[in-house]
């Protein structure tokens, strides 16, 4: 399943890559999350795909959920979730399926994520989340692929590409649509861990991720979602769950996001800080979903 929003060329490339794979994919579903769905023409792909037109931008979580429901209704035993800016090499999907069969306790299996512009650079080996402090850390590194373990359990996986077993969805549900963009894959994985699964990353499969195709890394909106959703995740998944512990985690998360807004490259520092404070305020007000009126673009 490929999630599309505003990237027609990238989406077509992602679909072609999946079609070229050697895995026995029953079907390819493209979730068209565009406000103007006619902008995506899959006729150039050359092979039929099922398209779900949402009619508006439901965000990562809402768009993925629309495709997951369709796949599960069709009887899928597992669903491969792919962002439109991800290229899945021919043998990667089969490798993920094999690992999931070997590790059914995982429930969620992800590949090593490489940067498309710097394919020698590992962008993600999974995610660590400290439930006590609320700190999140993306695992990456410069080590060669040959040195990576074939199977590595992690707290959460990168949301750009992941294979999820049907049993996982049946036990823990779908993505939390309040998040709209960012941190929903971490929340989903932590929920799966609480339900007894052990998500992991396998070096037997790699994908190539461009990143920032729908929301640029320097966009203030990215900082807004990061602050708001990070606070939501720390509140729901943090341990211990007492009032003082929650307050302490929230303070740590706010400081981490402010530091990131101050030090991040690109864009305008003041705009990043304003977006971060707005994310904190919206979390406190209980305002979730998109930060723009319905129909607003994700740029």
Query: What are the residues facing 4 on neighbouring strands?
Result: 32
CATH of 2-209, one of 3.10.20.30, 3.90.550.60, 3.30.540.10, 3.50.50.60: 3.90.550.60
pTM score of the predicted model: 0.94
Q: Where are the domains of the chain?
A: 2-209, 220-285
pLDDT cut 90: percent of the chain above it = 76
Q: What confidence tier does 145 reach under pLDDT thresholds 50, 70, 90? A: confident
Mean pLDDT (whole number) for 52-81: 96
Q: Which of 104-113, 129-138, 140-149, 236-245 has the lowest mean pLDDT?
A: 140-149
Q: What confidence tier does 54 reach under pLDDT thresholds 50, 70, 90? A: very high
| Degrees, nearest 5: CA angle 267-84-68 | 120
> What integer pLDDT is reported at residue 182 of this predicted model?
95
> What integer pLDDT is reported at residue 144 of this predicted model?
81
Contact 52, 44 (CB under 8 A): no
For 102, the 3-state DSSP assignment is helix
Residue with more model confidence, 264 or 43: 264
Contact 1, 79 (CB under 8 A): yes
Sequence-ordered alpha helix ranges (H) in 149-242: 166-172, 184-194, 220-237
Q: Which of 126-130, 188-192, 216-220 has the lowest mean pLDDT?
A: 216-220
């Amino acid at each position: 399943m490929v999630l599309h929003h505003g990237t027609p060329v990238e989406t077509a490339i992602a679909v072609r890559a999946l079609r070229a794979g050697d895995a026995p994919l029953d079907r390819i579903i493209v979730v068209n999350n565009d406000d103007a769905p006619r902008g995506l023409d899959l006729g150039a792909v050359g092979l039929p795909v099922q398209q779900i037109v949402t009619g508006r931008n439901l965000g990562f979580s809402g768009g993925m959920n629309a495709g997951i429901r369709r796949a599960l209704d069709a009887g899928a035993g597992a669903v491969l979730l792919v962002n439109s800016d991800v290229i899945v090499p021919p043998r990667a999907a089969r490798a993920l399926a094999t690992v999931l069969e070997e590790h059914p306790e995982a429930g969620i299996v992800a590949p090593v994520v490489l940067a498309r512009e710097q394919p020698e650079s590992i962008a993600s080996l999974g995610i660590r989340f400290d439930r006590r402090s609320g700190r999140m850390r993306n695992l990456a590194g410069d080590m060669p692929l040959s040195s990576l373990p074939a199977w590595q359990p992690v707290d959460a996986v990168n949301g750009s590409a992941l294979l999820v077993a049907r049993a996982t969805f049946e036990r823990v549900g779908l993505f939390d649509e309040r998040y709209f963009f960012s941190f929903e894959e971490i929340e989903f994985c932590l929920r799966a861990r609480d339900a007894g699964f052990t998500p992991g990353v396998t070096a037997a499969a790699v994908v190539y991720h461009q990143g920032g195709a729908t929301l640029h890394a320097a966009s203030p909106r990215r900082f807004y979602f990061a602050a708001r959703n990070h606070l939501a995740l720390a509140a729901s998944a943090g341990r211990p769950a007492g009032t003082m512990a929650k307050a302490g985690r929230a303070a740590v998360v706010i400081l981490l996001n402010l530091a990131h807004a101050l030090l991040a490259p690109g864009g305008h520092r003041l705009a990043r800080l304003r977006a971060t404070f707005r994310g904190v305020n919206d979390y406190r007000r209980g305002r979730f979903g998109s930060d723009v009126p319905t129909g607003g673009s994700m740029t």
